Structure 1
Amino acid sequence: MSRAERLLELMQCLRRRRHPVSGKALAGELGVSLRTLYRDIASLQAQGAHIEGEPGVGYVLQPGFLLPPLMFSAPELDALMLGARWVARRTDSELAHDARNALSKIAAVLPADLRQSLHDSALLVGPPDAVQDGLDCLPALRQAIRQERKLLIRYRDRQEHDTERVIWPFALGFFERVRMVSAWCERRQALRHFRVDRFVALEPLGERYPVRRQALLKRWREEQGIHADPLGV
């Protein structure tokens, strides 16, 4: 691994962590000595990276810094393209448009050879199974999740009974045949899952729910026995 690649990997190691990490752990992850690790951190700090910490305490990267030029390995570009292709074929048109925009921004700052390898990716996504979402409400659901806003929904259960509920949506799951919303249900006073194709009506209430989305997601993970995000972020 070249020094430039090592510095990029060090940045990624720090970005993946929200709390200070020891120099020993970072050196072990990169396969270098502590002395080399300290030199690399000093080099990044000299280039403007807001890395706080010191030996024996740990290091944390403050947000807002990109190491130019933006570089990815060929496998990383394959992963990005595969993810974007999945989004384009398995979600709604608005999110597909956003995925294409994100790829365009990445391609614009890549060197020419890497830009070509991005578009030449041989990892493809097959045709999706038929998904019946009923209401065209995925954009509204994503907005409510981002803004931590309550929703009034009319929901049809398995017995074809309609009920009105106020929910606090905090996550949206995309499966092969259904979309699932994870939310706090005021009616049940508990965390619940709702199938999007069973939404009969949806109305944003404009009212922020009183718990942070991250707290609801943490509680949901604990109840589901999920200890970490699969991407580690």
Structure 2
Amino acid sequence: MRRADRLFQIVQHLRGGRLVRARQLAEWLEVSERTIYRDVADLQASGVPIDGAAGVGYILRSGYDMPPLMFSRDEIVALIAGARLIRAWGGAEMARAAEEALIKIDAVLPDPLRERMGGVEIHAIAPEMTPEIRQRIDFLEKAADKHNRLTISYRDADGDPSERTIRPLGLWFWGKVWTLVAWCELREDFRMFRLDRVKDLAHEGSVFRPEPGRTLKDFYRTMEDSGHHR
């Protein structure tokens, strides 16, 4: 958990006017009591009205609320447009997460910005996206994040099939087509696989370690060297 998220959670746990001990907070947030002491001290120093002390417990004074998020008009438009694009073209879990994020933002916005949020007329429709492709996007995003080696069945542009063992590195969206950037162990090189041409994919059963020359940064470097960034 990021420290900013942990600080927010501490404030949330202290709501309700009840005394909460550092040990309870540490258990809930899965950190040490010393970390809680330091975090609470930083919150107090920033103006959050928390009373109490180490060894006694903490309580949040009534009437305190988190300051509202402030976005400009252009930022609101960008957030809405981005969420709707993800809903149309992203993975199923991505789409749900985008909707949940917008609900949370809406809950803390001042009324004028909330009205602006509801008036953004930017929409996206993606009839090409099937439930299978959406699930595939979510699967590959997690595999790249966790460094899970995969086996895939793939057909190239000519329809020729092949079986590959790959190291998934990241996903690229090209407007209507998603591709997977990966290190292909068959070709011993970087490859990009169109998701709509992947027929089967599964965990190979092992985790790969990032190696010099085989990372996403190395792929970007090869793209720049070949002039594809232009």
TM-score scaled by structure 2? 0.62
- Checking the alignment, whether the CA contact within 8 Å between 2:167 and 2:183 is kept in structure 1 is yes
- Checking the alignment, whether the CA contact within 8 Å between 1:155 and 1:200 is kept in structure 2 is yes
Q: Which amino acid aligns with 2:149?
A: K
Q: Give the corresponding residue for 2:185.
A: 186
Q: Give the corresponding residue for 2:137.
A: 138
- Distance in structure 1 (CA, Å) of the matches to 2:219 and 2:200: 25
The answer to whether residue 198 in structure 2 is matched with residue 195 in structure 1 is no
- Distance in structure 2 (CA, Å) of the matches to 1:93 and 1:149: 20
- The alpha-carbon deviation at position 174 of structure 1 amounts to 1.9
Runs of 4+ displaced beyond 4 Å: 131-136
- Distance in structure 2 (CA, Å) of the matches to 1:163 and 1:170: 20
Q: How does 1:78-117 map to 2 (within 5 A)?
A: 78-117=77-116
- The alpha-carbon deviation at position 144 of structure 1 amounts to 0.4
- The alpha-carbon deviation at position 104 of structure 1 amounts to 0.9
SS of 1:137 mapped into structure 2: helix
Q: Which amino acid aligns with 2:196?
A: D
- Distance in structure 1 (CA, Å) of the matches to 2:205 and 2:114: 42
Which range is displaced more, 191-200 or 93-102? 93-102
- Distance in structure 1 (CA, Å) of the matches to 2:211 and 2:82: 28
- Checking the alignment, whether the CA contact within 8 Å between 1:132 and 1:197 is kept in structure 2 is no
Q: Give the corresponding residue for 1:128.
A: 126
- Checking the alignment, whether the CA contact within 8 Å between 1:133 and 1:178 is kept in structure 2 is no
Distance 1:121 1:164, change over 3 A: same
Q: Which amino acid aligns with 2:126?
A: P
- The alpha-carbon deviation at position 184 of structure 1 amounts to 0.6
- The alpha-carbon deviation at position 203 of structure 1 amounts to 0.4
The answer to whether residue 170 in structure 2 is matched with residue 167 in structure 1 is no
Q: Give the corresponding residue for 1:222.
A: 221
Q: Which amino acid aligns with 2:90?
A: T
Aligned residues: 163
What do residues 34-67 of structure 1 show as CA deviations (whole Å, max 9, x unaligned)?
xxxxxxxxxxxx638xxxxxxxxxxxxxxxxxx9
- The alpha-carbon deviation at position 161 of structure 1 amounts to 2.3
- The alpha-carbon deviation at position 190 of structure 1 amounts to 0.9
Over aligned residue pairs, what C-alpha RMSD do you find?
2.9
Unpaired segments of 5 or more residues in structure 1? 1-45, 49-66, 227-233
- Distance in structure 1 (CA, Å) of the matches to 2:96 and 2:224: 34
Q: Which amino acid aligns with 1:165?
A: R
- Checking the alignment, whether the CA contact within 8 Å between 2:84 and 2:124 is kept in structure 1 is no
- Checking the alignment, whether the CA contact within 8 Å between 1:156 and 1:163 is kept in structure 2 is yes
- Distance in structure 1 (CA, Å) of the matches to 2:71 and 2:193: 38
Q: Which amino acid aligns with 1:159?
A: D
- The alpha-carbon deviation at position 177 of structure 1 amounts to 2.9
- Distance in structure 2 (CA, Å) of the matches to 1:212 and 1:142: 19
Distance 1:73 1:212, change over 3 A: farther
- The alpha-carbon deviation at position 115 of structure 1 amounts to 2.0
Q: Which amino acid aligns with 2:116?
A: S
Q: Relative contact order, CA 8 A, sep 6+: which one is greater?
A: 1
- Distance in structure 1 (CA, Å) of the matches to 2:120 and 2:89: 19
TM-score scaled by structure 1? 0.61
Q: Give the corresponding residue for 2:40.
A: none
- The alpha-carbon deviation at position 132 of structure 1 amounts to 6.6
- The alpha-carbon deviation at position 87 of structure 1 amounts to 0.9
Q: Which amino acid aligns with 2:123?
A: V
- Distance in structure 2 (CA, Å) of the matches to 1:212 and 1:120: 48
- Distance in structure 1 (CA, Å) of the matches to 2:89 and 2:205: 28
The answer to whether residue 142 in structure 2 is matched with residue 152 in structure 1 is no
